[in-house]
């Protein structure tokens, strides 16, 4: 019985794909409502379907005066609050906006799509490469705090590492000073390397150094390396 219900929900998710143009507004609406009831399978699928409802103004054909009224009706029926349903919409919009970059790095539903709701907020405050790296490796709670710029709680708690100007501190102790007379490019590269090393130390991880000859080589390597890392982690 569970298998039959699972397959019905899975077929609903496939039908909700934005590439499926033959569905009527009623079928799309029914698919969203059925998928919410089996929410564990795909928050992202619901978000993508809601994007279509918004973009094509399908809510009008379902006799709702606007998108908010439609979402409020979904929330009442599903017993989820309105903010949660709007969050699903945000997840779908974010996925579509950054789809190419997310797919290149191997991001998928197994990486907790709810983190996507905070991606743009993180990009407003943090370096782009760092944000996408953390999107893959951080838990939902950690990424949400990271995107909001929240500091570690606890009065007087010392961060594991921080960089003030050209000085690296680890657990409050001065560890490395980068001589600024080395020049801007060398200084930036060394500080960036320190950040990568510190993030690995903080998460009990490991580093692999790779020498590349151009920015284009670096860009192409990062894409392939992220995809390989995601696949390796999925095989564990």
Lookup: tokens for 78: 């599903």
Is residue 180 within 8 A of residue 188, CB to CB? The reply is: no
CA distance 77 to 37: 10
Which token pair is 190?
Answer: 């060394």
Model confidence pLDDT, tens digit, residues 194-227: 888 888 888 878 888 888 888 788 778 888 887 7
Mean pLDDT by 10 residues, the chain (236 residues): 38 50 72 61 80 91 94 88 91 92 77 89 86 81 85 61 82 84 82 85 82 82 80 67
Mean per-residue pLDDT over the chain, rounded:
79
Q: H or E segment at 215?
A: helix 215-235
Alpha-carbon span 91 to 117, nearest angstrom: 5
Q: What is the pTM of this model?
A: 0.55
């Amino acid at each position: 019985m569970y298998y039959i219900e699972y397959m019905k929900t899975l077929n609903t998710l496939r039908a909700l794909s934005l590439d499926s143009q033959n569905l009527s507004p009623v079928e799309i609406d029914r698919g969203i409502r059925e998928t919410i009831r089996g929410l564990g399978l795909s928050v992202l699928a619901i978000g993508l379907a809601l994007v279509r409802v918004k973009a094509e103004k399908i809510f009008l054909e379902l006799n709702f005066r606007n998108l908010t009224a439609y979402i409020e009706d979904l929330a009442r029926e599903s017993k989820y609050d309105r903010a949660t349903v709007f969050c699903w919409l945000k997840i779908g919009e974010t996925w579509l906006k950054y789809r190419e970059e997310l797919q290149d790095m191997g991001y998928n539903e197994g990486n907790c799509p709810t983190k996507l709701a905070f991606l743009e907020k993180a990009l407003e405050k943090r370096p782009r490469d760092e944000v996408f790296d953390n999107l893959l490796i951080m838990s939902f709670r950690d990424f949400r705090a990271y995107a909001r710029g929240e500091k570690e709680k606890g009065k007087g708690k010392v961060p594991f590492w921080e960089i003030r100007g050209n000085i690296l501190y680890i657990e409050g102790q001065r560890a490395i000073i980068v001589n600024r007379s080395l020049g801007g490019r060398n200084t930036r590269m060394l500080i960036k390397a320190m950040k990568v090393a510190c993030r690995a130390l903080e998460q009990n991880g490991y580093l692999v150094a790779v020498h590349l000859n151009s920015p284009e080589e670096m860009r192409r390597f990062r894409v392939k390396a992220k995809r390989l890392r995601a696949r390796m982690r999925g095989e564990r």
